[in-house]
Chain A
Amino acid sequence: MIETKKIAGLAVATLLTVLNSANAQDDILVLDDDVPFNGDFTFDDDLFSSAFDEGSSANSSSWLDDFTVKISQQFSGQINTHGIEIAPGITLPREAELETNRLGANIRYQNAFAPGWFLQASAQIRIYLHDDYQFRAEGDSIDIESRGNEFFLQRSFNQHSIKLGRQTVVWGETSGNSVLDVINTTEFRDFNIIDIEDARLNQWMLVWDYFGEDSNFSSFVNLYPEFNPAAVRGSPFFFEPEFNLTDYERGSSMLIEAGTQWRKSFQGSDISIMAAYLYENQLRHEDPASLMGDAVAETNDFFLLGFSANRAIGKLLLNFDLAYSHDVLADSFSFPGTASLANPVNLKKDQIGTSFGFEYAISNEQSVSLGMQAQMLLDEDEGLLPGQSLINDGVFGSWLVRYSNTLMNSDLVISSTLQGDLAANSLLALLGADYTINDNWAIGGQIISITSNEESPLLFFAEDVRLSATLTYSF
């Protein structure tokens, strides 16, 4: 209960601090109650004269203009004290506690420094403060983590564009759970990251785009394929493994991924066809031969063929993705954020998957979207030992429903997300609100509730309720 109050108190304090800051502006006027709009009234257009002054000095740009900085403070915690029965008679206690208390900065640099050239870089710094799970994991001391995200140089000429450096490549039309969005690795470190857009990690790639008269080609070579990082010690997804989960030992082996996509737009529709040679983003960990030391990380390469299309019909947008994967590991769990919980067997299969859905603009302020992802291993029983079965048999996958409502001239966005697996073993419900206070300040809040039965790895989070608040300052 104390922890619950603490989390709520921090959220309220954040809100009050921001509102106070936002109101601390110059030239606040006391307004007349009755505004007489009948007939003429005077309007001082000089109010916006600074815009035209700015126009005359538009060319006096500064190198600082190339930087965009976002500073954020985030609190979140699990607020429902309860117990989870993981086996008959065995209950796992779940205490309400603060999980994150972190100050972060995201910095982006973009510079078209010469005709046809463009440089982009971004990085993030996180300071894990008191009671953050990483603070506790570091022995109750403040921990600072920094990470480079994007860093690429682009050269465009004629109908070509070449980008070299750390970047992302996104395939597929379905938002949030496309079966084709498998090029980049992801990190769902905790429940504050729900959207896959926020979870993608950049990799070192060479990307060549060809923009033709009627269609485009986009090809990539991943020069240093990386893998989904293991859960950070102390985070909600972290479970003490029997053996330490280590990164893949590359040794002298050289890993390379490559793929290409052809894309064409028609009236009301876009289609893409793609093919790639990839490594599965999730490593497979085997027990050490001596049953001592660290687990052994193994990679798995596979081929992907894909097709994607969309179709706009008035306010309705239909999305469709189709993927055929050759030689994937049989037991890959598809629910975002729980991949590290899977324990795949060393059995290669072919897999066919599809993701499809729609986005519908109810009005200019409201929209709803639905995405379904379904996958199926072909010849799933082949190669299994007697009594052995796959974690995912038959058709498996997930679904995602999103609703958003934009209020107060886009200052306030209320959104909700429901996400579950096709077998109806788990459900994640999110309600969020983001309020833009002014051009620099924004605040957001989320409530996340999880329900699960014993068939889902999300059982460990069943009945969890998480509350979070994030304050952001951008400049």
Chain B
Amino acid sequence: MQGNILSKGLISLVVALFLIPLQSMAQELSGREIMEKLEDNQRATSNSALSRMQLSTCKFGVSEGKITCAERPRVKSLESVGKGYGIDLKDSRSIAILLDPPAERGISMLSFIYDDGARDNETWLYLSALGRVKRIASGSSDDETEPGSLFGSEFTTEDQDTGKLDEYEINLLEETVVSGREVWKIETIPNEERARQSRYSRTVLYVDKERFVELRIEMYDQYGKEIKRMLGARVELMNGIWVARSTTIMNLVTNRLSNMAFLEMHTGIDVPDEFLTQRTLTDAAFRETELAKLRAQID
């Protein structure tokens, strides 16, 4: 089951929802154009990328007007390698390896994600207890399934999803200020078909006009009630790309929050095709050797 969840969100994890390159945006852009540029840049950052991330999840509450964890966060760390394939690199292959917690260390998963909605994504999982590579039925790439939790966090596959802009009405509402930064306030409303697959009837994004980073996203249910809020912080320039290195999503219904910290994110890595195969799942000597080579490119 977990494999299904992981596979759905894996490539998006690598993509990193809040990565936007620094660009000059002198001209006036429509909401649709802003969203298209977001998607283009997300795709660029997922190609030949090596990332190390930490996912922290906890119950939260408000104490003295400030949101904070009410318990020690559950922490998972993972390393991920991805590469684009196909026309315009719209297909992708990626592998994710859980490093922590100890009970889950070594769980690794290979995913082939196809842009073509007619082709099912492919996922293989390796669990040492299982002793073999296991194919996971992950569903098709058209997101027909209900969005699921990512590594047990509050991030869902839908929160991480990109593209499919034709399925949304996109409105540029206003220009305003968030956290002292000038932002575009953009509203996205799914069409009827998309709405059937979504938990959200409306999403409002606040996009940093200068750095093209989403600083805040509000997600509303079918009754117009805000049920989730996402905040981007620690916006830093990494490898020439503005990145919200710390992204926190709060589930306002369950009072749980998850933080995704991009500890490392490197693009332009020369990822050999052989690395993104089933061999990497089973051949630990090969995997560690190749990972060392990838890390050496960073150094």
Contact = CB atoms under 8 A, between A and B. Distances in A.
A39 to B, nearest CB: 10
Contacts of A43: 66-67, 231, 248, 250
B102 A69 contact: yes
A47 B106 contact: no
B1 interface: yes
Contacts of A313: 120, 137
Given A45-B233, A315-B145, A439-B101, A268 B122 contact: yes
Contacts of B34: none
Contact of A48 (B152, B157, B246): B246
Chain A interface size band reads: 35 or more
Contacts of B62: 31-32, 35-36, 41
A32 B284 contact: no
A406 interface: yes
Contact of A438 (B72, B132, B233): B72
A182 to B, nearest CB: 13
Interface stretch (B15-23, B87-95, B159-167, B285-293): B285-293
B243 to A, nearest CB: 12
Contacts, number: 220
B4 A161 contact: no
B229 A37 contact: yes
| Contact-size category for B | 35 or more
Contact of A52 (B67, B101, B149, B245): B245
A44 B285 contact: no
B284 A211 contact: no
Given A29-B68, A268-B120, A410-B149, A314 B137 contact: yes
A154 B289 contact: no
Contacts of A425: none
Nearest to B254: A409
Nearest to A312: B137
Contacts of A70: 102-103
25 contacts: A29-B63, A31-B62, A31-B63, A32-B63, A42-B65, A43-B250, A44-B67, A45-B231, A45-B233, A51-B259, A52-B245, A52-B261, A52-B263, A54-B54, A115-B292, A116-B289, A118-B284, A156-B283, A168-B131, A312-B122, A361-B145, A363-B146, A367-B4, A410-B5, A474-B101
Given A29-B70, A364-B148, A410-B149, 14 more contacts: A36-B62, A41-B62, A43-B67, A44-B67, A58-B52, A58-B264, A118-B285, A120-B284, A197-B129, A211-B279, A364-B147, A364-B157, A365-B148, A475-B102
